[in-house]
Structure 1
Amino acid sequence: MVDLATRVYNHKWKIDPIVRSLIDTDFYKLLMCQSVFRNKPDTTVTFSLINRAKHIRLAEMIDEGELREQLDHVRSLSLSRGESTWLRGNTFYGKRQMFRPDFMEWFENLRLPDYHLEKRDGQFELTFEGKWPEVMLWEIPALAILMELRSRAVLNTMGKFELQVLYARAMTKLWEKVESLREIPDLKLADFGTRRRHSYLWQDFCVQALEEGLGDKFTGTSNCSIAMKRDLEAIGTNAHELPMVYAALARTDEELRRAPYDVLADWHEEHEGNLRMILPDTYGTEGFLRNAPDWLAGWTGMRIDSGDPAAGAETAIKWWKDRGEDPTQKLVIFSDGLDTQKIHELAAQFRGRVKVSFGWGTMLTNDFIGLTPGNTLAPFSLVCKAVEADGHPTVKLSDNPNKAMGPSEEIARYKRVFGVGEQEALEVRV
């Protein structure tokens, strides 16, 4: 087991680069990338870093030169032979050859495109522009780099003994969570913590703790590199990025209204089983389900990623019943702002009513809350989103208006087109 405190204290970044592989990313990014490669390869997209926690002035904490070194290192990466073999030959979600030969040939020759970095008002303005399949793979590495550089900036102020105590406390906190979750009958839980992790080494440690502590209640990790390294299931389906870009490409209100379903029609052609998971909240869950085509009711389940999670699951259950489906045979994945108490509550509320799984993110891989004076290692909400497609702005409404993004006039148009009424604003924790 890695001595984390000593590794941090004696840290040299060339030994421990933050991102050490192109597959140090979430599995759903690769699945979506293949779909984009097949369906929208020539679409030009811009991704941009968005720090929702404005009080954390990243450009005043992180050295720009060090950030550029880490970003440039990612641009030097390519798939290793072992990684390519794993992607080509492994079984994912029960399917052999999940990744098509033409996609793999493209991926094996890929180097990530350039980035644009500026400082403004204490924050970094970091953007990536290019063909959609290429630039979309910057999202997770960019977030992981910024989050870990912030962690390192705090850790660099600590002595060796202080670091030992810090990690001992963090490990104890993590293990107490594992012991609590072990009590939940029929628990199914995966690590979703790559994008806002404390560090790569800490995420790997957390995954090992879950594997030992939860046994078969731990279903795998979204991180492809760790899944390969630890011989675990790679977990993930799709994300808001797909409907956001498809919608931005729509030229009429009718095309816009149809865009979220066009995404899933393309997905339906490629995937089956547990990969047929609906993510309904990009433009409001209720409107999405109200207008959804009947064939979507036959999909395996639904991921709840914004708004009140219990309310979202109740909406899903009612929708399935109204469409003549048996909710007890459907899967609901909760993945927004989870920690142990909420996992206990949701597991108890929906036990026997629907199959339940949890994607546990930031509060698994970055819960250092209360472990440093001034809470300087507490996680915060940092995202990297597609903000423009072929020159047109993207929009996300979400079931929580505090997560909405896009120009105000476009947000108003999307609310009109998708029939989104009053929404409850909830705190965005992480």
Structure 2
Amino acid sequence: MVDIATRVWNHKWKIDPIVRSLIDNDFYKLLMCQSVFRNKPDATVTFSLINRSKKVRLADLIDEGELREQLDHIRSLSLSRGESTWLRGNTFYGKRQMFRSDFMEWFEGLRLPDYHLEKRDGQYELTFEGKWHEVMLWEIPALSVLMELRGRAVLNDMRKFELQILYARAMTKLWQKVERLRGVDGLRIADFGTRRRHSYLWQDWCVQAMMEGIGDSFVGTSNCLIAMKRDIEAIGTNAHELPMVYSALAKDDTALAQAPYQVLADWHEEHEGNLRIILPDTYGTAGFLERAPDWLAGWTGIRIDSGDPATGAEAAIRWWQDRGEDPTRKLVIFSDGLDVDKILELHSRFAGRVRVSFGWGTLLTNDFRGLTDGDALAPFSLVCKAVSADGRPTVKLSDNPNKAMGPADEIQRYKRVFDVGAQDRFEVIV
């Protein structure tokens, strides 16, 4: 097993690339990329870094030259032969050849496009603009780099034994969580922690701890590189990015109202079985379910990623019942700000009523709260989102207005089109 503290100590003398592979990325990004490659190959999209936690002044912590060095290194990466063979030949969700030959030929020749970086008011403005299927693959690596460089900056002045103790405490903290999850009947958890992990090495350690600690209850990881390396399932389906961009490309309000369903119609043509998971909260779950076409009720399940998770699951159960579906055969994936208490609470409430699964993210792979002075390593809410498509702004409403994004006038337009009324606000944990 890698001595993480020693590796962190050695960062002080030489560059240690944070992202070493194009598949050090989330599986859902590759699935979405293939769909975009097929259905929207000419769309031009801009992604932008958004730090929701303004008190964390990244530009004051992270050296610009070091950040550029890491980003430039990512631009030099291409698929290795082994990675290409794994993607082409592996079975994902029971399906052989998940990735088509035309997509793989393009991906094998890909180098990520250029970026734009500048400082403003203690933050970095980092943007990526180009063909959607190219720039979308920047999101996860960019976040991984910034999160790890922030961690390195905080740890830079620690001596070797201080680092050893820090990581020993962090390992103990995670293992105590794992012990609480042991033996919970029917529990299913996947690692969703790539985007805001403490580091690649730490995420890999967390995955190994989950594999040993809860056995078959750990169903896989969203991280493709770790899935390949550890011979476990790569987990993921789709994200808010798809309906956000499709909606921005809509020509009028009528097309806008149909955009979230057109996304899923395109996805329906590409995938089947467990990949048919609805993410309904981009413009409000209640309205999405009320207007959803009947064929969507036949999909495998729903992922709940904002608002009160229990409320969202109850709404899904009622919707399936109203559409003549048996909820006990459906899958509900919880994935918003989870930690052990919430996982156990939701599992206890919904196990037996639906098939329950959890995508455990930042508080699995980056929970150093209470382990440093001033909580300098506490996780924070950093995202990289598609902010425009073909020159038109994107909008996200969410079931939590604290996660909403987009110009104010467009937010009001979307609220009108999707009939979104008053919403409760929830703290954005990560």
Q: Give TM-score, length-normalised by structure 2.
A: 0.99
2:397 is aligned to 397
1:354 is aligned to 354
1:417 is aligned to 417
2:179 is aligned to 179
Judged with a 3 Å threshold, the aligned counterparts in structure 2 of structure 1 residues 86 and 385 are, in CA distance, closer, same or farther, namely: same
Partners of 1:259 and 1:52 lie apart in 2 by 27
Partners of 1:207 and 1:161 lie apart in 2 by 25
One-letter amino acid matched to 2:177: K
1:77 is aligned to 77
What SS does the aligned partner of 1:46 have?
strand
1:246 is aligned to 246
Partners of 2:212 and 2:260 lie apart in 1 by 39
Partners of 2:423 and 2:184 lie apart in 1 by 32
2:2 is aligned to 2
1:226 is aligned to 226
- Please report how far the alpha carbon of residue 11 of structure 1 lies from its aligned counterpart in structure 2 after TM superposition: 2.0
One-letter amino acid matched to 2:361: G
One-letter amino acid matched to 1:181: L
- Please report how far the alpha carbon of residue 369 of structure 1 lies from its aligned counterpart in structure 2 after TM superposition: 0.2
What is the correspondence of 1:352-391 to structure 2 with a 5 Å cutoff? 352-391=352-391
Partners of 1:368 and 1:280 lie apart in 2 by 32
2:65 is aligned to 65
One-letter amino acid matched to 1:22: L
One-letter amino acid matched to 1:300: T
Partners of 1:339 and 1:409 lie apart in 2 by 36
Encode CA deviations 1:186-230: one digit per residue, 9 max, x unaligned: 100000000000000000000000000010000000000000000
Partners of 2:13 and 2:379 lie apart in 1 by 22
1:102 is aligned to 102
One-letter amino acid matched to 1:54: K
1:273 is aligned to 273
One-letter amino acid matched to 1:375: D
- Please report how far the alpha carbon of residue 184 of structure 1 lies from its aligned counterpart in structure 2 after TM superposition: 1.7
One-letter amino acid matched to 1:414: Y
1:23 is aligned to 23
Judged with a 3 Å threshold, the aligned counterparts in structure 2 of structure 1 residues 388 and 183 are, in CA distance, closer, same or farther, namely: same
Partners of 1:382 and 1:351 lie apart in 2 by 32
One-letter amino acid matched to 1:316: A
1:341 is aligned to 341
- Please report how far the alpha carbon of residue 183 of structure 1 lies from its aligned counterpart in structure 2 after TM superposition: 3.5
Partners of 1:179 and 1:187 lie apart in 2 by 13
What SS does the aligned partner of 1:187 have?
coil
Partners of 2:266 and 2:147 lie apart in 1 by 33
What SS does the aligned partner of 1:124 have?
strand
Q: Give TM-score, length-normalised by structure 1.
A: 0.99
What SS does the aligned partner of 2:288 have?
helix
Query: Which range moved further: 274-283 or 155-164?
Result: 155-164
2:199 is aligned to 199
2:212 is aligned to 212
Partners of 1:48 and 1:415 lie apart in 2 by 23
Partners of 1:335 and 1:184 lie apart in 2 by 18
What SS does the aligned partner of 1:399 have?
coil
Query: Is the CA contact 2:128–2:138 (under 8 Å) kept in the aligned structure 1?
Result: yes
- Please report how far the alpha carbon of residue 16 of structure 1 lies from its aligned counterpart in structure 2 after TM superposition: 3.1
Identity of aligned residues (%): 82
2:127 is aligned to 127
One-letter amino acid matched to 2:226: I
1:52 is aligned to 52
Encode CA deviations 1:321-355: one digit per residue, 9 max, x unaligned: 00000000000000000000000000000011000
Partners of 1:13 and 1:377 lie apart in 2 by 22
- Please report how far the alpha carbon of residue 15 of structure 1 lies from its aligned counterpart in structure 2 after TM superposition: 6.3
Partners of 1:241 and 1:270 lie apart in 2 by 17
- Please report how far the alpha carbon of residue 13 of structure 1 lies from its aligned counterpart in structure 2 after TM superposition: 7.9
What is the correspondence of 1:130-145 to structure 2 with a 5 Å cutoff? 130-145=130-145
One-letter amino acid matched to 2:146: L
Partners of 2:30 and 2:390 lie apart in 1 by 22
One-letter amino acid matched to 2:249: L
Partners of 2:282 and 2:129 lie apart in 1 by 22
Partners of 2:367 and 2:422 lie apart in 1 by 33
What SS does the aligned partner of 2:127 have?
strand
Partners of 1:114 and 1:420 lie apart in 2 by 37
What SS does the aligned partner of 1:99 have?
coil
What SS does the aligned partner of 1:238 have?
coil
Partners of 1:20 and 1:339 lie apart in 2 by 29
Question: RMSD across aligned C-alpha pairs, in angstroms?
Answer: 0.8
2:313 is aligned to 313
Q: How many pairs are equivalent? A: 430
Partners of 1:364 and 1:246 lie apart in 2 by 32
Query: Is the CA contact 2:183–2:214 (under 8 Å) kept in the aligned structure 1?
Result: no
Q: Does 1:90 align with 2:129?
A: no
Judged with a 3 Å threshold, the aligned counterparts in structure 2 of structure 1 residues 14 and 225 are, in CA distance, closer, same or farther, namely: farther
What SS does the aligned partner of 1:332 have?
strand
Query: Is the CA contact 2:366–2:379 (under 8 Å) kept in the aligned structure 1?
Result: yes
Query: Is the CA contact 2:243–2:282 (under 8 Å) kept in the aligned structure 1?
Result: yes
Partners of 2:310 and 2:290 lie apart in 1 by 19
Query: Is the CA contact 2:12–2:156 (under 8 Å) kept in the aligned structure 1?
Result: no
Gaps of 5+ in 2: none
One-letter amino acid matched to 2:86: W
